């Protein structure tokens, strides 16, 4: 299957160096640990088995990008519950039933490799937001039973048993507790027993260290970038990155322009204020803010294009973490379909070869590139008993 993608890519790529990169990309197992397409799929009813015009993910573009494994995020804001998590898993199962030749659900490293050998995308489930277990360990069991391979302890909202980065930063005084409660520690122990990886993206610093102390297995951050480049509460400080690595864990770098580029939020504010009046008029005309904003984004697409972070900056984040913690502890967690802007060139899941090329360009060995693209994730799965 991958031969088709390579032939297509070669048509648009001429340097021998890029070809060398493509060969490696073809051989490597490429895994993204955080994609948000499921919640969109439920809302719009699109079939991502077919090529889509918008969005960042579909099975056709995944194949073109040499993507071998995708962790599908089961996400909800604070209002979401256990039932919603199950509906999102239903929608992934339905996608797999519609396209059994292109995608298969996997729960272990061996199943993942078997799916890849058959040319299928290995689909996994990550539940983003511990609030969806509704404080019940039996709900945790049930989600693990349905294939959850990691759970992000919090989203931006804290749970009754763990505090989030957002609330530790902005609502610290109103938090009932910082870090993990006794129930929180029980959740971690149960996750360890079930082989569900503890995901520390979105959690506050107190929770991060409590969870690392409570976990007997290597942990992860499924979609987090480096604070050293941009002091955003969603990014990880050097000590946090080292602490995750010390468990044998992995930080999967988030691609979102707003996390990797410290100048992005200022540019975004300027864009919003420049088009504020027009947006208000269109919102009134259509009686729909989302329709109005889609029109604004289309009309001023060049401005949005110019706001995107440079690809080199994403590679800087990867390189920084590798230098800090080692090549065994870094991977890719794109957050596609979860944000509005990604680095230039990285439009969607078909563009992963660009990252491989850039890493080789910087002198990375083939061995290290393979670890970053997917090898580290497979090691993490195994270390969690999968
Ligand atoms: Zn997230």
326 Cα–ligand 1 center, Å: 24
Tell me, what's the pLDDT at 41? 79
163 Cα–ligand 1 center, Å: 15
3 Cα–ligand 1 center, Å: 33
158 Cα–ligand 1 center, Å: 13
200 Cα–ligand 1 center, Å: 10
Residue among 12, 17, 7 at smallest CA distance from 360: 17
72 Cα–ligand 1 center, Å: 12
SS3 state at 80: coil
223 Cα–ligand 1 center, Å: 7
What is the number of other CB atoms lying within 10 angstroms of the CB of residue 110?
A: 13
365 Cα–ligand 1 center, Å: 30
Average pLDDT, the chain: 94
Alpha helices (H) in the chain, listed in sequence order: 2-11, 16-27, 37-44, 59-64, 82-98, 109-117, 137-145, 165-170, 182-194, 205-214, 238-246, 257-260, 264-274, 276-286, 289-299, 301-307, 311-325, 352-361, 366-370, 376-383
4 Cα–ligand 1 center, Å: 32
Backbone angles phi, psi at 221, to 5 degrees: -120, 110
Tell me, what's the pLDDT at 1? 46
201 Cα–ligand 1 center, Å: 7
322 Cα–ligand 1 center, Å: 22
Tell me, what's the pLDDT at 17? 62
What is the number of other CB atoms lying within 10 angstroms of the CB of residue 99?
A: 17
101-138 pLDDT tens trace: 999 999 999 999 999 999 999 999 999 999 999 999 99
Tell me, what's the pLDDT at 39? 85
Strand partners, 220: 199, 250
155 Cα–ligand 1 center, Å: 6
What is the number of other CB atoms lying within 10 angstroms of the CB of residue 376?
A: 27
- Residue ranges, the chain, pLDDT below 70: 1-18
Instruction: In whole angstroms, give the CA distance from residue 59 to residue 348.
Output: 11
Tell me, what's the pLDDT at 8? 52
Tell me, what's the pLDDT at 171? 95
Instruction: In whole angstroms, give the CA distance from residue 127 to residue 380.
Output: 17
Q: Do the beta carbons of residue 331 and residue 252 sit within 8 Å?
A: yes
333 Cα–ligand 1 center, Å: 10
What is the number of other CB atoms lying within 10 angstroms of the CB of residue 234?
A: 22
Residue with tokens 């490597």: 28
CA separation (Å) from 25 to 223, 333, 374?
A: 21, 17, 11
Domains along the sequence of the chain with CATH: 2-261+311-383 (3.20.20.140), 262-308 (no CATH)
321 Cα–ligand 1 center, Å: 19
128 Cα–ligand 1 center, Å: 7
Cβ-in-10-Å burial (0-12, 13-18, 19+) of 287 comes to exposed
């Amino acid at each position: 299957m991958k031969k088709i993608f390579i032939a297509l890519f070669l048509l648009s790529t001429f340097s021998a160096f890029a070809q060398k990169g493509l060969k490696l990309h073809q051989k490597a197992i490429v895994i993204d640990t955080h994609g948000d397409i499921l919640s969109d799929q439920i809302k719009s009813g699109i079939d991502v088995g077919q090529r889509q015009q918008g969005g960042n993910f579909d099975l056709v573009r995944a194949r073109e990008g040499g993507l071998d494994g995708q962790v599908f995020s089961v996400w909800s804001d604070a209002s979401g519950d256990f039932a919603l998590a199950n509906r999102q898993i239903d929608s992934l199962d339905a996608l797999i039933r519609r396209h059994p030749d292109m995608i298969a659900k996997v729960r272990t490293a061996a199943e993942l490799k078997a799916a890849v050998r058959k040319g299928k995308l290995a689909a996994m489930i990550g539940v983003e937001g511990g609030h969806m277990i509704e404080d019940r360990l039996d709900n945790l069991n049930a989600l693990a039973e349905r294939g959850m391979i990691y759970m992000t302890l919090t989203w931006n909202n804290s749970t009754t048993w763990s505090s989030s980065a957002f609330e530790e930063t902005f609502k610290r005084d109103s938090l009932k507790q910082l870090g993990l409660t006794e129930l929180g520690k029980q959740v971690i122990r149960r996750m360890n027993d079930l082989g569900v990886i503890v995901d520390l993206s979105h959690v506050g610093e107190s929770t991060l260290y409590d969870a690392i102390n409570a976990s007997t297995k290597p942990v992860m951050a499924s979609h987090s970038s480096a604070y050293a480049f941009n002091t955003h509460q969603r990014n990880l400080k050097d000590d946090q990155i080292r602490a995750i690595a010390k468990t044998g864990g992995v930080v999967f770098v988030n691609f979102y322009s707003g996390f990797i580029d410290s100048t992005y939020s200022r540019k975004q504010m300027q864009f919003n204020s420049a088009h504020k009046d027009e947006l208000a008029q269109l919102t009134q005309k259509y009686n729909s803010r989302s329709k109005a904003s889609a029109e604004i984004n289309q009309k001023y697409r060049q401005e949005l294009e110019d706001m995107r972070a440079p690809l080199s900056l994403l590679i800087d984040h990867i390189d920084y973490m590798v230098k800090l913690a080692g090549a065994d502890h870094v991977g890719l967690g794109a957050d596609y379909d979860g944000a509005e802007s990604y680095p230039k060139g990285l439009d969607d899941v078909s563009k992963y070869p660009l990252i491989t090329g850039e890493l080789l360009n910087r002198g990375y060995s083939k061995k290290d590139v393979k670890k970053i693209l997917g090898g580290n994730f497979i090691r993490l799965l195994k270390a969690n008993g999968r």
